[in-house]
Amino acid sequence: MEKLNGLRCRECGRHYPAAPVHVCEFCFGPLEVDYHYDALKGVVTRESIAAGPPSMWRYRDLLPIEGDAAVGHHVGFTPLIRAKNLADELGCREVWVKNDSVCHPTWSFKDRVVAVAVTKALEFGFDTVACASTGNLANSVAAHAAEGRLKSYIFIPADLEQGKILGTLVYSPTLVAVHGTYDEVNRLCSEIADKYRWAFVNVNFRPYYSEGSKSYGFEIIEQLGWRTPGHIVVPCAGGSLITKIWKAIKELKTLGLLEGPVRTKMHAAQALGCGPIVTMIKNDTDVLVPVRPNTIAKSLAIGNPADGYYAYKTTKESGGSGEHATDEEIIEGMLLLARTEGIFTETAGGVTVAAAKKLIERGVIPRDESIVICVTGNGLKTPDALQDRLQTHAKIKPSLSAFDRALAELKSQTS
Amino acid sequence: MARTRVRLTFPTALIQEPIVYRLVKDFDIVINIRRADVTADHGWMALELEGDEGALERGVKWLRDRGVQVDPLERDVIVP
Ligand SMILES: Cc1ncc(COP(=O)(O)O)c(C=O)c1O
Ligand SMILES: [Zn+2]
């Protein structure tokens, strides 16, 4: 079955053979993987998917790899949880949490994109992978490169705290700290990606890499019994994830795998301190105004998102919307999810919960329609976000009477 | 000769100024615009710059000093 049809320019539609390239030589538009959907129809079925492994690779036929997964065999197929307590708190009938805070192996949805990029790098015969990242992406690239026995180069701005890089260094990549302003470091990394024959996951491998995010969307739909939910609230940074979840739904529709019509509205969630996509949605304009990030939601801090325009279009096309969350609301969102569902997400998840809550309160998301909240990363990676907010309730001597007194004290405080 | 591909974002205040003209004339840079969207109050351009390396660096610095945002085509390469 020939499923892949090379690459296609998202702006001018020109076709390119499958290669590690990401920009259209004619219009400088972004390239996207193209598939022979006709060849997939009737071959990819609910049964064929169900017969696959309990990982993202059950959707292998809809991902841009030729052979089998080379790394990350256990990535994905994370829990979709019916969040009854959270629903009660939000005053809603049906709330689900798609929980990639437990994605194997590095606890964020980035494992999905990186597993595809690294597999593709091996297919194209590369021996080195690279990325420039301060967080989740760096963790995932270093881990999957180790598994694939590839060399890896990770670039970071020189002023990044040591604590942030341990979760990357542990996998033995080559870590390069670059001095300079954000703009200088950013442009240098683009030039490095251009010059060296490495698989730079989010640059020359971006068309393949970004397709990995579709698996998050496929799983939501399969786990809902092939029904589309009323609403999906997605945290946005570069704007790729929300675009690809929507693409996943459209592909399942094309293949005739959905129960009933598509009725999903896609909603973008961003921090107020870095929310250029949501600003487009609120102002109803396709013009993205770049911003300087200033938020505790570090993993969503992309000021000039490459897929911002497509993310905006996704919300428009689906009839969805968007909402900002302040730093305070982000923390409240993290605490709310932990308190109601026992899930500790990072700030990005706090952004999504907070944005969903506001969209519900504003009446944009009706309380009687089904809602999926996307939780994409793990709170244990960045505990500092909550450091000042939480404290021990009682400190006592090791005696039963001391505990009795403390307990009485605590009870009197809460009653 | 060196080449670089960049995306320029213009703040409203600079839309009316002949920025690209100056870049060509004062820095001896050859430019090739591939995609652009410029209206009365906003504008961006995806283009290729060609010139000697020093001229490109000086040109990019001059653009930034004027308040033009200069990003690689991929925009944020650094991903959190
Ligand atoms: C935890 C987390 N959630 C969501 C996102 C947003 O994804 P995208 O850049 O595809 O919009 C990111 C990273 O960029 C992330 O690290
Ligand atoms: Zn093109």
Q: Do A304 and B69 touch (CB under 8 A)?
A: yes
> Chain B residues contacting A, CB < 8 Å?
4-6, 9, 34-35, 37, 39, 42, 46-47, 60, 64, 69-80
B40 C-beta closer than 6 A to ligand 1: no
Specify whether the backbone of A226 is left (phi greater than 0), alpha (psi in -120 to 50) or beta.
left
Question: The domain A80-107+213-386: what is its CATH number?
Answer: 3.40.50.1100
Specify whether the backbone of A122 is left (phi greater than 0), alpha (psi in -120 to 50) or beta.
alpha
Domain-wise residue ranges, chain B? 1-14+44-74
Mutation site, A136, A304, A309, interface B, largest B CB count within 10 A? A304
User: How far is it, in rounded angstroms, from Cα B50 to Cα B33?
Assistant: 12
Query: Which residue(s) pair with A327 in the sheet?
Result: none
Q: What integer pLDDT is reported at residue A332 of this predicted model?
A: 98
Domain-wise residue ranges, chain A? 4-62, 80-107+213-386, 110-209
Alpha carbon of A15 to ligand 2 centroid (Å):
9
A241 C-beta closer than 6 A to ligand 1: yes
Q: What integer pLDDT is reported at residue A183 of this predicted model?
A: 87
User: How far is it, in rounded angstroms, from Cα A260 to Cα B8?
Assistant: 45
Q: What is the CA radius of gyration of chain A?
A: 22
Q: Do A191 and B72 touch (CB under 8 A)?
A: yes
Q: What integer pLDDT is reported at residue A1 of this predicted model?
A: 56
Nearest residue of A to residue B6, measured between CA atoms = A187
> Chain A residues contacting B, CB < 8 Å?
11, 22-23, 26-29, 131-137, 155, 157, 182-183, 185-187, 189-191, 193, 202-203, 206, 237-238, 287, 289-290, 298-306
Task: List Cα–Cα distances, A288 to A236, A250, A304, B11, in angstroms.
Answer: 14, 25, 8, 12
A34 neighbors A11 (Cβ within 8 angstroms) = no
A331 C-beta closer than 6 A to ligand 1: no
- What ipTM score was computed for the predicted complex, to two decimals? 0.93
pLDDT digits (tens, 9 = 90+) for B14-53: 988 899 999 999 999 999 999 999 988 889 999 999 999 9
A235 C-beta closer than 6 A to ligand 1: yes
Q: For each of chain A's 415 residues, which pLDDT tens digit applies?
A: 589 999 999 999 999 999 999 999 999 999 999 999 999 999 999 999 999 999 999 999 999 999 999 999 999 999 999 999 999 999 999 999 999 999 999 999 999 999 999 999 999 999 999 999 989 999 999 999 999 999 999 999 888 888 789 999 999 999 999 999 888 889 999 999 999 999 999 999 999 999 999 999 999 999 999 999 999 999 999 999 999 999 999 999 999 999 999 999 999 999 999 999 999 999 999 999 999 999 999 999 999 999 999 999 999 999 999 999 999 999 999 999 999 999 999 999 999 999 999 999 999 999 999 999 999 999 999 899 998 899 999 999 999 999 999 999 999 988 7
Question: Helix (H, G, I), strand (E, B), or coil: what is residue A320?
Answer: coil
Instruction: Give the tokens for residue B30.
Output: 């050859």
A240 C-beta closer than 6 A to ligand 1: yes
Using CB atoms, which residue from A23, A132, A287 is nearest to B79?
A132
Q: How many CB atoms lie within 10 A of CB A54?
A: 9
DSSP string for B36-75: EEE-SS-EEEEEEEEE-HHHHHHHHHHHHHHT-EEEETTS
Q: What's the order of all strands across the beta sheet hosting A4-9?
A: A15-16, A4-9, A31-35
A377 C-beta closer than 6 A to ligand 1: yes
Q: Do B79 and A186 touch (CB under 8 A)?
A: no
Identify how many contiguous H helices and E strands chain A contains and give both numbers. Answer: 15, 13
Mutation site, A187, A201, A302, interface B, largest B CB count within 10 A? A187
Q: Which CATH number fits domain A110-209: 3.30.1490.120, 3.40.50.1100, 3.40.50.620, 3.40.50.300?
A: 3.40.50.1100
Q: Do B80 and A27 touch (CB under 8 A)?
A: no
Distance from CA of A116 to the nearest CA of B (A): 17
Residues contacting A309, CB < 8 A, separation 6+? A239, A280, A286, A288
Each as own residue / partner, the long-range contacts of residues A160-168 (CB below 8 Å, 24 or more positions apart, any chain) are A160/A134, A163/A384, A164/A134, A164/A135, A165/A138, A167/A106, A167/A138, A167/A139, A167/A381, A168/A138, A168/A139, A168/A142
User: How far is it, in rounded angstroms, from Cα A12 to Cα A401?
Assistant: 76
- Tell me the CA end-to-end span of chain B in Å, nearest whole number: 34
Q: Do B79 and A287 touch (CB under 8 A)?
A: no
A94 neighbors A369 (Cβ within 8 angstroms) = yes
Give the up-direction half-sphere exposure of residue B9: CA atoms within 13 A in the CB hemisphere.
Answer: 15
Q: What integer pLDDT is reported at residue A8 of this predicted model?
A: 98
Alpha carbon of A219 to ligand 1 centroid (Å):
17
Q: What integer pLDDT is reported at residue A414 of this predicted model?
A: 80
Q: Which residues of B touch A189 (CB under 8 A)?
A: 72, 77-78
- A80-107+213-386 against A110-209: fold identical: yes
User: How far is it, in rounded angstroms, from Cα A339 to Cα A53?
Assistant: 33
